[in-house]
Amino acid sequence: MTATLFRNARLVLPGEVLLGCLRTADGRIAALDCGATGAPGGMDLDGDYLLPGLVELHTDNFERHLMPRPKVHWAEMPALLGHDAEIAAAGITTVFDALGVGEADTDSLRGAPWDRVLEAMDTAGARDLLRAEHHLHVRCELPAPNTIDLFTPFHGHPRLSLISLMDHTPGQRQWENLAQARIYYTGKKGWSHEKFERQVAHSATLQAQYAQPHRAYFVDYCRTHGIALASHDDTTAAHVAQAHAEGAALSEFPTTLAAARAAHERGLLTVMGGPNVVRGGSHSGNVAAAELARAGLLDILSSDYVPGSLLSAVMQLVQDQVLALHQAVATVTCNPARAAGMPDRGELAPGLRADLVQVHMAELPDGNRQAVVRGVWREGRRVL
């Protein structure tokens, strides 16, 4: 693999941003230098930012490509390649594809087997068809009767690195507000109002029967197989305490400030959605990610359902003077990398992987500035 020199770049380092140059060799960062360089050749970034490759722990984007409309199933390989291209275009070089298992509604994607999807991922990986490095984040819907059965293809899969425990029973956690739940299920999932009412009535029965035994099963699986565990939509301190006792390392999308504080006190890293930052708040009416950032309670940003929201959220936090640029970038690079047990990436430092993103700040006619990804490299190889 040839060496590459990046000149005249604004290097986003762990504690500061400096104008300088960066050299790569054999897929690693070989050296960093401040100021201009007289070395010939290389790439002149003309003052663009050079960031570590973004690390994404939770994106539903692959599912969106697999089912672009309710009940419309797309072929697995084209869906994967389309998703991968979109991920790379967002500056993401390491992605945990979040796939949900368990759904009482058999017409849904999460109520169907995942075998063919995993086969497509294995084939694409073996033939070097993917721009980003893909891992699996399995989201387990605890009250669904078929969750454990649908998890079977993931057993022992080498890409499985994270499991999160979900309970989307209306009336609690994310869906405390039933009106917001109705909007989501009738809008995104295409349910009729009658179907929504039936599901709400039936959900409490399913939760009582399946949630606790399924929770115990997946907690034990993570412990015995060394898989990272995350809680999901914690609303109360009791939710966080239970997750901590079970060995969870991450609290995904806490819905209240109290839950986020409890997670911080117990050492769980808080993950919030990039769309929450960009939109100025949660689409479900929950706590705003920027509010947690101001309180020092935001550790990691996830693109959730919009890959491009990672970089947009970083720049929004900087523009609103919530975080300095290097602090905001850490929420999408070194913080998720450390949480995932990947110390070889997430920073611009000699010896680490040459996962890099060139970002240009474009001036728009309305006076605003837009972050534009101009180049992406994974392990020193250009993928965009």
Q: How confident is the model over 214-264, as pLDDT tens digits?
A: 999 999 999 999 999 999 999 999 999 999 999 999 999 999 999 999 999
Q: CA-to-CA distance for 145 and 214, rounded, in angstroms?
A: 9
CB 298 within 8 A of CB 316: no
- Going from the N-terminus, what domains does the chain have, and what CATH number goes with each? 4-50+350-382 (2.30.40.10), 54-339 (3.20.20.140)
| pLDDT, tens digit, 9 for 90 and up, residues 48-107 | 999 999 999 999 999 999 999 888 999 999 999 999 999 999 999 999 999 999 986 667
Q: CA-to-CA distance for 190 and 199, rounded, in angstroms?
A: 13
pTM: 0.92
Q: For position 282, what pLDDT does the model report?
A: 86
Q: For position 203, what pLDDT does the model report?
A: 77
Mean pLDDT, the chain, as a whole number?
Answer: 92
Share of the chain above pLDDT 90, in %: 80
Q: Give the model's confidence band at 286: pLDDT under 50 very low, under 70 low, under 90 confident, else very high.
A: confident
Answer whether residue 301 shows pLDDT above 90.
yes
| pLDDT, tens digit, 9 for 90 and up, residues 152-180 | 999 999 999 999 999 877 656 666 666 66
**3-class SS letters over the chain:** CCCEEEEEEEEECCCCEEEEEEEEECCEEEEEEECCCCCCCCEECCCCEEEECEEEEEECHHHHHHCCECCECCCHHHHHHHHHHHHHHCCEEEEEEEEEECCCCCCCHHHCCCHHHHHHHHHHHHCCCCCCEEEEEEEEECCCCCHHHHHHHHCCCCCEEEEEEECCCCCCHHHCCHHHHHHHHHHCCCCCHHHHHHHHHHHHHHHHHHHHHHHHHHHHHHHHHCCEEEEECCCCHHHHHHHHHCCCCEEECCCCHHHHHHHHHCCCEEEEEHHHHHHCCCCCCCCCHHHHHHCCCCCEEECECCCCHHHHHHHHHHHCCCCCHHHHHHCCCHHHHHHCCCCCCCCCCCCCECCEEEEEEEECCCCCEEEEEEEEEECCEECC
Answer whether residue 191 shows pLDDT above 90.
no
Q: For position 178, what pLDDT does the model report?
A: 63
Q: For position 207, what pLDDT does the model report?
A: 81
Q: For position 284, what pLDDT does the model report?
A: 72
Q: For position 239, what pLDDT does the model report?
A: 94
